[in-house]
Amino acid sequence: MIFMKTDLEQNRDLSAQIAKAIRDAIITGEMNTDDRLPSEAELADQFNVSRSTVREALKRLAAQNLIRTRRGATGGAFVHRLSYAEAYADHITTSTLLLSMNAVDFETACEARFALERACAPLSATRRSPDHLATMRAEVHRQSQPGLSDEGFCDSDVAFHRALVDGAANPVLSYQLAGAVEAMQPLMNMITFTARSREAIIAFHTRITDALEAHDADGVDTALSELARYTLGLGQKAMAARAAHRR
């Protein structure tokens, strides 16, 4: 792979332009996974800039998981195969940040989350493995522990719903939904769960798991939509309480 100075405008922000040139080469498939980029010194020559500028460009790409670097004689920067696990993690932090920075309200996030989960339900009812069921049962059990903190309850809730989504055995679906499910957590964390509401949620979770075990897609869907309504109510109550408290 050879880059040329001509790939750059004469303007400014060279490191961003260089990053873009290399990124394009990766995205368009001009470079393939595990291909090695030219060394920093070579890139500096090709783009006719200093090594520091090249390095800043490479750091940008590394931050996006597009390349990995290794030191040493056979080292260098290599095109990195973006794995689901890495993409998941990024997607979740970005989604969370996006929601918090744009002050998305509880209703909107809740609606999105349950709408998407319900989309997985039929597939999950067909394909869920014993592993998924076991995870869900375990989380339900964890949720019924008396000493569990509100945060722990939310953690478990997220884990439960992730298992439900993963049950659809479609990685694309899991990936896209991870953002919606996990990004809800900070909003859920603002709710104080009473023993009463925990009980209700656990009952929904049990119903969902049972229906899933019985391959009963309709049952899952019904329970999910009722849970959605219930969660929405909880959230609205919590928001109202907050608003009153702030008065």
Name the site residues for its own copies (rule: CB under 8 A): 15-16, 19, 27, 29, 33, 52, 55-57, 59-64, 81-84, 87, 90-91, 93-102, 104, 108-109, 111-113, 115-116, 118-120, 122-123, 168, 170-173, 175-177, 179-180, 183
Burial zone of 153 (CB within 10 Å; 0-12 exposed, 13-18 middle, 19+ buried): buried
**Count of residues binding DNA (CB under 7 A)?**
26
Q: How far is the CB of 123 from its own copies (least distance, A)?
A: 7
- Binding residues for DNA restricted to 62-91, rule: CB under 7 A: 69-77
| Max CA separation in the chain (angstroms) | 68
Per partner kind, with CB cut-offs from 5 to 8 A, the member of its own copies, DNA, none near residue 128 is none
As a dihedral over the C-alpha atoms of residue 184, residue 186, residue 188, residue 191, rounded to 10 degrees, the angle is -160
Burial zone of 195 (CB within 10 Å; 0-12 exposed, 13-18 middle, 19+ buried): exposed
Say how far apart CA 164 and CA 184 lie, in whole Å: 16
Per partner kind, with CB cut-offs from 5 to 8 A, the member of DNA, its own copies, none near residue 242 is none
Q: How far is the CB of 74 from its own copies (least distance, A)?
A: 18
SS3 92: helix
The residues that touch DNA, with contacts defined as CB under 7 A, are 12-15, 37, 39-41, 48-53, 55-56, 58, 69-77
